[in-house]
Amino acid sequence: MGIQLYVSFACNHGELARRRVQSPMVDRIFALGSLSRADGSTHADQLLVSLGPAPSLESLLDKVQQEAAAPSAKHRASWCFELIQPIMFQATRMSREFFENVSGDFARRQPISELAVRKVLDELTTMQALITYCFSGVDFPEETSLREPPEYDASRPEISTAIRGCAFGMSIMFTNFVITVHNELAIRAQETIRDLPSPVPSQYAPWTSSRQALLRTQAHALALSALSDLLRVFKLQVYPRHGRTAQLSQALRWAEFCADEADCNGGIAGISGADVNLLELFERVELSVL
């Protein structure tokens, strides 16, 4: 997997945003986006382009929870301007660690690191909570219905181009990461079953299999909950602005996930655990892979 995913916003949406906003922070965001697509980059490289470490996802969640307890006058969606850079930083770190500890060539020669999987699932859950805080309840209209939308309108965040850009970037980073983790755990489970020796040694005791099955269940539940974020991506993506890479990034994997869910549940109506208009989502997923 490497660390080449999760920053389609910075790389494909960059020139448009550069023309709208000129600031050192914007330049660092685009530099981080380019860095995260370069195999072999290190944590030190991240610190160099971002001018220091970013706040942890947990500290950001604490901050927004305090805001939720005593809300200010500004719309919650405007928090995305404070969150986009640290989320990109942490997503880059998380993807590198996931490659090194779970999905990389060396990691695949070892038993799966349950600690690394639990960590990434916890961090993805926190990331989703931050994204949900910003954009839940914001009904983004189709781009084609907007005429000369403002860069930022505090009273209409759903039509503000700056907020729409952040929403797209944060959502596509999250959904790409979720489906990658979900599929990697499924692959590792199949490889484990295939490679089991006979007789089965003690390290493959039933309790070990149960723990790994629990992690797969958690990843599956997270993928289901991410369907609302995936629908947001499809609503906000525009070709050629976001590029073919962003448009088709993980669409095939999500299409397979949706098809499997429908097959296992007797159709779309039988799917539970997803707070989203599934019919609309499935139609958009189908169109994205045609």
User: Region 61-80: what's the mean pLDDT?
Assistant: 86
> In this structure, what DSSP letter does residue 40 have?
T
Residues in contact with 266: Cβ distance below 8 Å, sequence separation at least 6, in sequence order: none
d(CA 215, CA 210): 9
The CB density around residue 147, as the number of other CB atoms within 10 Å, is 6
Domain chopping of the chain, boundaries = 8-249
- Write the CB contacts of 153 (distance below 8 Å, at least 6 apart in sequence): 159, 160
What digits encode the pLDDT tens for the residues 81-115? 999 989 988 998 999 999 999 998 898 888 899 99
pLDDT tier for residue 51 given thresholds of 50, 70 and 90:
low
Tens of pLDDT along 239-258? Answer: 445 555 555 657 889 999 99
Q: pLDDT band for 226, please (50, 70, 90 cuts).
A: very high
Q: What does the alpha-carbon distance between residue 241 and residue 247 come to, in Å, rounded to a whole number?
A: 10
pLDDT at 27: 45
What is the per-residue pLDDT for 20? 37
Mean pLDDT for 10-24 is 37
| Cα distance between residue 118 and residue 163, in whole Å | 31
Q: In residues, how long is the chain?
A: 290
DSSP 162: H
Q: Distances in Å between the alpha carbon of 219 and those of 112, 141, 181?
A: 15, 30, 7
Give this prediction's pTM: 0.80
pLDDT per residue as tens digits for the range 135-146:
998 988 877 667
Q: What would the pLDDT profile of 164-205 be if each residue is shown by its tens digit?
A: 989 998 999 999 999 999 999 999 888 876 655 556 555 555
Task: Please tell me the predicted confidence (pLDDT) of residue 249.
Answer: 59
Confidence of residue 37 (pLDDT cuts 50, 70, 90): very low
